[in-house]
Structure 1
Amino acid sequence: MHLDDKTTRLRSILQAHGRVAVAFSGGTDSSLLAKCALDTLGAGNVLLLFGESALLPSREIDRAIHWSSRNGYPRGVAMVRLEVHPLRWKEFVVNAEDRCYSCKFRLYSLFREQLEKHGVSVLLDGTNTDDLKSHRPGLRAIHQLGVQTPLVQAGFDKADVRQLSQQLGLTDWDQPSASCLATRIPCGMPITVERLRQIEQWEEELRRFGFVGCRVRLENETGSRVCIQLRAADFASFSMHTHRPAMVRFFHNHGVDTVLLDLVGR
């Protein structure tokens, strides 16, 4: 199906809902969904729900809360910012295999509580068809809670999302896919605020060296061994990077003895 046909179908799906809430992260998928909902239904019929927590880098929080002004809505768009505290959830901090499911179920349950307060009957999520091809425990929570996924219904894959986002002039149409900081902590290793902030600091430093969208994964409990995951496009420049000794020195100065590189990338 051509992108124009998918876009027409997406707008038709949104029009049928009338008034919607969008589970909003500021990422590419939820940004496109928000943009199409706003353009189709009008700002008065769209509510953005943003869960702010220790799982998100401060850069991503800032991007989400200032999304409307950066994307052509100077008067702003209705957004409810919910403070979420996953580190108080015992089933989350133990970091079992179903961590993402329990987190998504809790978060979207909080979002659903906002619907009646704001006269909205449906909650939308930015899942696309490529997401269905990988193991994503959070999708089970989405289905259980009756959350709608219009991008899937309209047949959008990730490439479609980026292409339409660029056409519509969204500022972050090409930003790397993001996930919460807890995904860098191996299952079974407890999630703590100290580990989350350390990972954020490491990734922010690599960003300063020009490696946007990289991830730094913990490899042991003490944090003395880490593994860097780069985007495929960055491998060549990383291998020749004149600042590599400085990067290694940065990690050593922060208690990391061994810095590994994941050859699969992300």
Structure 2
Amino acid sequence: MSEQKLDALQNLISTFPSAVLAFSGGVDSTLLAVIAHRILGNRFLAVTAASPVHPESELVAAKELAAQFGFRHQVIFTQEFAEAHFIRNPPERCYFCKLTLFRELKSISEEENFSVLLAGDNYDDLADYRPGHRAAREMNVRSPLQEVGLSKTEIREWSRRENLPTWCKPAYACLASRIPYGRAITVEALARIDQTESFLLSLGFLEIRVRDHFPVARLEFGKAELERAWNLRELIAATVHKFGFPYVAIDLDGFRSGSMNTVLPDTLMG
């Protein structure tokens, strides 16, 4: 992360009278939260969404980060399952999910007189299919990391220099992103995905995704971890069966962020 980009980020944030951030506790939003708190102090609030779409472990981690770095933090319970479009899981599902979140943030900002809504999107996100960006535009949500051109690699490097524990945290996406487009999202499906991923993480795997093609669980491991996953296949299969998947498959292509988007037409991918 160049010093110029850091300066640009700090200068941008300093123009905000106050701000509310959608805080997941991931690499991007943690760096943004720490810098925003440093500049804005109590005029900054980080808000984390709790729902079946997010593992409990991510909520716990977000709370711990807020306590460690001393910034104001609030947990809200979002109601994605009240939105029929979300449940139907179309390719633009992320739009409806983010719209639900940003509406909650807007309500908080209006009640407590915060000036700006923030999200932790980075510059690399512009290259992927991200319908949530449309929700951000409609709700006037700013993405400072993206606006100053910060890539994921640069954010990780500066997080390491800042001694943030998230600097090497694996990329994360909500549990609904593990379900193929067009297949209805259910609380039961999210629970079995969460159980399976939590189990695999407990085995020490770093990059994993459980793609729920029920009755098949398609497991994506980081390419450097594929051999170890194969060596543990009997334990993995036996345990994943207990979580409700009749069939268990290891994806030979390994982990790919956004792999569910592979089947989308080029017109959507832009």
TM-score by length of 2: 0.90
The amino acid of 1:195's aligned partner reads A
SS at match of 1:37: helix
Structure 1 residue 255 displacement after superposition: 4.0
SS at match of 1:22: strand
Choose from 204, 221, 225 the match for 1:230: 221
Per-residue CA deviation, residues 2-53 of structure 1 (Å, 9 max, x unaligned), is 6111001100000111311111111111111001111122x21211121111
* Alpha carbons 2:95, 2:135 under 8 Å: kept: yes
User: d(CA) in 1 for partners of 2:227 and 2:148?
Assistant: 37
The amino acid of 2:64's aligned partner reads H
Per the alignment, residue 235 of structure 2 pairs with: 246
Say whether 1:105 aligns with 2:99: yes
Aligned counterparts, 1:18-97, within 5 A = 18-41=17-40, 43-70=41-68, 72-73=69-70, 77-97=71-91
The amino acid of 2:216's aligned partner reads R
Per-residue CA deviation, residues 68-105 of structure 1 (Å, 9 max, x unaligned), is 223x42xxx22221111211211111111211111111
The amino acid of 2:196's aligned partner reads W
Say whether 1:216 aligns with 2:222: no
Q: Decide whether aligned partners of structure 1 residues 9 and 92 sit closer, same or farther in structure 2, where only a CA change above 3 A counts.
A: same
User: d(CA) in 2 for partners of 1:232 and 1:115?
Assistant: 43
The amino acid of 2:238's aligned partner reads R
RMSD of Structure 2 on Structure 1 (CA): 1.5
Per the alignment, residue 169 of structure 2 pairs with: 175
Per the alignment, residue 153 of structure 1 pairs with: 147
Structure 1 residue 263 displacement after superposition: 2.6
Per the alignment, residue 247 of structure 2 pairs with: 258
User: d(CA) in 2 for partners of 1:236 and 1:197?
Assistant: 27
Per the alignment, residue 266 of structure 2 pairs with: none
* Alpha carbons 2:53, 2:174 under 8 Å: kept: yes
The amino acid of 1:34's aligned partner reads A
SS at match of 1:17: coil
Q: How many residues align?
A: 255
Structure 1 residue 210 displacement after superposition: 1.4
Identity of aligned residues (%): 32
* Alpha carbons 2:221, 2:251 under 8 Å: kept: yes
SS at match of 1:177: coil
Structure 1: stretches of 5+ with no match in the other structure: none
Per-residue CA deviation, residues 90-123 of structure 1 (Å, 9 max, x unaligned), is 1111111211111111210111111122221111
SS at match of 1:49: strand
* Alpha carbons 2:48, 2:59 under 8 Å: kept: no
* Alpha carbons 1:178, 1:213 under 8 Å: kept: no
User: d(CA) in 2 for partners of 1:109 and 1:85?
Assistant: 11
* Alpha carbons 1:54, 1:85 under 8 Å: kept: no
Say whether 1:124 aligns with 2:110: no
Structure 1 residue 235 displacement after superposition: 2.4
* Alpha carbons 1:13, 1:150 under 8 Å: kept: yes
SS at match of 1:173: coil
